Amino acid sequence: MENRIKNILFNALRLFVAVLLMFLILRSIDFVPILGRIKTINLLWLLLGFLLTLFLVYLNAIRWKILLSTHNVNLSVWKLFRVYLIGFFFNNFLPSSIGLDTVRTVYLRQHGLKEVASSVIIERFIGVISLFIYMFIGFMFIERTNIDFNIILYSMIVLFVLILMFFLLFNKRIVSVFKPLVLKIRYKNIGSMAIEFYKTFLEYANNKKDLLLALLTSFLIQTIVIFINITIAKMYYIDIGIIHFFSLIPIISVLSMIPVSINAIGIREGAYVYFFTMVGTTKEMALLISLSFLVITAMTSLIGGVLFVFEKGNKKLEKSNNKCR
């Protein structure tokens, strides 16, 4: 009961943050040009945006399959694609990408909770690294923008730290050094469970080929995210240089992972307005691109809601048939 109350309070706080941030953004927005652009929407570009979003989810499923195979969890891409869509749907009501990761882990826990959880964590870690590398490549063309150099510097530092952590994560000596200390944590057997969980990460150290393949897939995933945003700009006839999308969308994606609001609402919109106005776009057009990205992904995720209801109905039917037998 106590945990349920805490969850309700946390969700209420995240909703409050989302509403507050959106209020601060919208109060300085002129909606006349936004409505004017919506009237000129190109439906072919809109359709392409939906198709690219579905393809994006499919690529995520492929990356997940690559990482799960390291633990000998062999599931079809179609199965993982369905689970991803279902998680994608629930992510609309949960805090940023953490909600998606939690739903996916719980949904496949019967295949080994440690194995599934470690694959999700490694997948997220590789995804963030690819984001920062993409962002760094985009910043090579920084002379064409008005972005503060400190942003580039901090991004490079974070990228260095992430890569260092990535290599340390698969260093077997870490286990031998810290194992005695961790095992001293005997409360609810947390120490031994932490060691066993960490061993699942070490399995990736012997499967560098899978890690490299997952990283390459992550680059393709980030490319699709960028092209979805380019498609949205084309949809409204908004003229923005392609290089700006390649340098800005990755950092916006990183900021959208911060779990302080529902589905990153407010954080994402604020980031779009802040960064795209730096490269000469009006805040109204930046907000329109952000909201359109939210709408396209949310509408695509409705497929996951349908799949969830359908699979839940099938499970009830199976239980009913088993009882009859």
DSSP, residue by residue, 222-264: HHHHHHHHHHHHHHTT----HHHHHHHHHHHHHHTT-TTSBTT
In a domain, 261, yes or no: yes
Angle at 177 between CA 172 and CA 179, to 5 degrees: 90
Would you say residue 16 lies in a domain?
no
pLDDT in tens, 92-115: 766 555 667 778 888 888 887 778
pLDDT tens string 64-94:
999 898 888 888 999 999 999 998 888 776 6
How much is the mean pLDDT over the chain? 80
CA–CA dist 291, 208 (Å, integer)? 38
pLDDT value at position 318?
46
Residue 3 is assigned to a structural domain of this protein: no
Please tell me which residue, 43 or 17, carries the higher pLDDT value.
Answer: 43
Domain limits for position 199: 32-318
Q: How much of the chain is in helix, strand and coil states, percent to nearest 5? A: 85, 0, 15
Positive or negative torsion for Cα 258, 262, 264, 265: negative
pTM above 0.85, yes or no: no
Residue at 66 is within a domain: yes
Within-domain flag for 1: no
Total count of domains within the chain: 1
Look at residue 22 and tell me if it is in a domain. no
In a domain, 49, yes or no: yes
**Which of 27-41, 62-76, 111-125 has the least mean pLDDT?**
111-125
Asked if the structure places residue 23 within a domain, the reply is: no
